[in-house]
DNA sequence: GCCGCTCATGACAGTGGCTGCCCTCGCGTA
DNA sequence: TACGCGAGGGCAGCCACTGTCATGAGCGGC
């Protein structure tokens, strides 16, 4: 037993999500979060760069997971196939924690600042994917475009998964979006 | 001659860009901008929702331009062709004001908050493109994916145009990126 | 068994982004 | 002439975030 309760960071994350759900992000001062977590405001900002970041603690691990999936794809896989392997890995993580993901997303969708933060996390993920593709010897332009296309698929598939009727799994939706993107880019008429 | 100098909004935009270039975004308090523009802080926030927004005044017009280009594309054009027409229109605007665009982009690239704001403007543009495509009768999923793909192309082509050797026009780069994206999504090996 | 180091947290003051509220005053209009 | 409108000013205040110093449990070294 230490001088303080353990897992301060985790307590802050949980208290923040709870309060953002209960009152909304904007109506929740950081002081409220730290009060619920039994800590001080100063400590919050030692663990998280800002009030938004507390919702995005897992983004680093997600990047690593996706980059690992690209690296682990068969040598014969095309760049797009390797990127889709990363999306499948990410989809698995989301589906495991479906309820938490939906709760978190409802908070993000309700606030513009949080949507901004989500977009920069996706952009960072796109960069990580592009790096991993380059490590496979994919040329720079192809790597960047493939990564951006993969993120586009993830955005759209994730949106369908969250807001749609919920009959299909996220992995299935990713597959459908990849096909639909292929058809659209190949110039199929509407 | 009114009670005040005319074009307060424009003066604020110009003063802000100048100061962001001279000292950097973070080192420029809003009070400095308003001092240079001969106004008060309160007035700044009447014209712009926040300190970032002053750099993004043109985004609304860009959306309208792109949506108009999609609407104006030939009826026989595929969704992707209509979206590329929008990118060409946008590229034309950027190329007209090349120096200003580069200056502005150097400020944005230097600051994470501004990059976030840029991303949400691009996401908003993607939404406007998707709406315009739906108005052409394009199915929802195809519209969203086509719009996201177009934004991906714009991001990559714009990056090449800004940071590259500068021999090719932005329109040429857009064309090359569209082709490269087509090849990547079609599953060409690296 | 004490010494001193580390390191997570507390305490507190300060900066600056942003807002609400009320005031000012030139202008167009009845 | 009177009146309202609208752009801007003034001011108090909230809150996100930071710099700085203090505190005190755990812990290895001796």
Protein-nucleic contacts, chain B 26-85 to strand C, CB < 7 Å: 28-31, 41-42, 45, 49-52
Contact A144 B153 (CB under 8 A): no
pLDDT at residue A129, rounded to an integer: 98
Cβ atoms of A37 and A18 closer than 8 Å: no
Any alpha helices (H) in chain A, and if so which ranges? Answer: 8-23, 30-37, 41-47, 59-72, 79-96, 98-109, 112-135, 140-163, 170-185
Does pLDDT of B52 surpass 70?
Answer: yes
pLDDT at residue B190, rounded to an integer: 76
Cβ atoms of A145 and A130 closer than 8 Å: no
Q: Which pLDDT tens digit goes with each residue over A89-124?
A: 999 999 999 999 999 999 999 999 999 999 999 999
**Which of the 8 DSSP states describes residue A5?**
-
Residue B43 CB lies within 7 Å of the nucleic strand D: yes
With tokens 């923040």, the residue in question is A16
**Which of the 8 DSSP states describes residue B49?**
S
Both tokens assigned to B137:
């009768």
The four Cα atoms A139, A140, A143, A147 give a dihedral, to 10 degrees, of 180
Q: What is the mean pLDDT of chain B?
A: 96
CA distances from B72 to B60, B144, B145, B154, B163 (A): 18, 19, 20, 19, 31
Within 7 Å of a protein beta carbon, the nucleotides of strand D are 6-12, 14-20, 24-26
Residue B109 CB lies within 7 Å of the nucleic strand C: no
**pLDDT tier at A4, thresholds 50, 70, 90:** confident
Q: Which pLDDT tens digit goes with each residue over B101-136?
A: 999 999 999 999 999 999 999 999 999 999 999 999
CA nearest neighbour of A146 among B69, B187, B137? B187
The four Cα atoms A126, A132, A137, A141 give a dihedral, to 10 degrees, of 10
**Which of the 8 DSSP states describes residue A187?**
T
- Does CATH place domain B8-50 in 1.10.10.60? yes
pLDDT at residue B166, rounded to an integer: 80
CATH of A8-48, one of 3.30.450.20, 1.10.1790.20, 1.10.3720.10, 1.10.10.60: 1.10.10.60
Residue A8 CB lies within 7 Å of the nucleic strand C: yes
Contact A139 B81 (CB under 8 A): no
Contact B141 A180 (CB under 8 A): yes
Question: What class has domain A56-185?
Answer: mainly alpha
CA nearest neighbour of A136 among A77, A182, A55? A77
CA distances from B78 to B84, B160, B172 (A): 10, 26, 20
Residue B2 CB lies within 7 Å of the nucleic strand C: yes
SS3 of residue A76 by DSSP: coil
Contact A149 B144 (CB under 8 A): no
Q: Quote the percentage of chain B above a pLDDT of 70.
A: 99
Q: Which pLDDT tens digit goes with each residue over A31-86?
A: 999 999 999 999 999 999 999 999 999 999 999 999 999 999 999 999 999 999 99
**Distance of alpha carbon A186 from alpha carbon B150, whole angstroms:** 13
Distance from residue B150's CA to nucleotide D22's C1', rounded to whole Å = 56
Closest residue, CA to C1' of D9: B40
Cβ atoms of A120 and B115 closer than 8 Å: yes
Cβ atoms of B171 and B88 closer than 8 Å: yes
The residues spanned by each domain of chain B are 8-50, 56-185
Q: Quote the percentage of chain A above a pLDDT of 70.
A: 99
The four Cα atoms B114, B115, B117, B120 give a dihedral, to 10 degrees, of 180
Q: Which of B133, B144, B149 has its CB closest to that of A149?
A: B149
Does pLDDT of A1 surpass 50?
Answer: no
Does pLDDT of A2 surpass 70?
Answer: no
SS3 of residue A133 by DSSP: helix
Q: Among B50, B133, B148, which would you mutate to test the A interface (most chain A Cβ atoms within 10 Å of its Cβ)?
A: B148
Does pLDDT of B1 surpass 60?
Answer: no
Q: Nearest residue of A to residue B119 by CA position? A: A119
B89-98 CB contacts, 8 Å cutoff, 24+ apart: B89/B65, B90/B62, B90/B65, B90/B66, B90/B154, B91/B157, B91/B169, B91/B170, B91/B171, B91/B174, B92/B171, B93/B62, B93/B65, B94/B158, B94/B161, B94/B170, B95/B169, B95/B170, B95/B171
pLDDT at residue A156, rounded to an integer: 98
């Amino acid at each position: 037993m230490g001088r303080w309760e353990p897992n301060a960071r985790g307590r802050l994350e949980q208290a923040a999500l709870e309060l953002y759900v209960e009152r909304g992000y904007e109506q929740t001062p950081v002081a409220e979060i730290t009060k619920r977590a039994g800590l001080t405001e100063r400590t919050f900002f030692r663990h998280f760069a800002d009030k938004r970041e507390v919702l995005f603690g897992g983004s680093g691990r997600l990047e690593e997971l996706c980059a690992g999936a690209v690296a682990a794809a068969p040598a014969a896989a095309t760049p797009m196939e390797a990127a889709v392997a990363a999306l499948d890995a990410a989809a698995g993580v989301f589906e495991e924690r479906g309820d938490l993901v939906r709760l978190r997303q409802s908070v993000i969708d309700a606030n513009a600042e949080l949507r901004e933060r989500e977009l920069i996390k996706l952009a960072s993920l796109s960069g990580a994917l592009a790096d991993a593709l380059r490590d496979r010897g994919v040329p720079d332009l192809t790597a960047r475009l493939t990564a951006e296309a993969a993120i586009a698929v993830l955005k759209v598939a994730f949106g369908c998964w969250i807001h749609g009727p919920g009959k299909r799994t996220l992995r299935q939706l990713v597959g459908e979006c990849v096909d639909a993107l292929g058809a659209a880019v190949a110039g199929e008429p509407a």
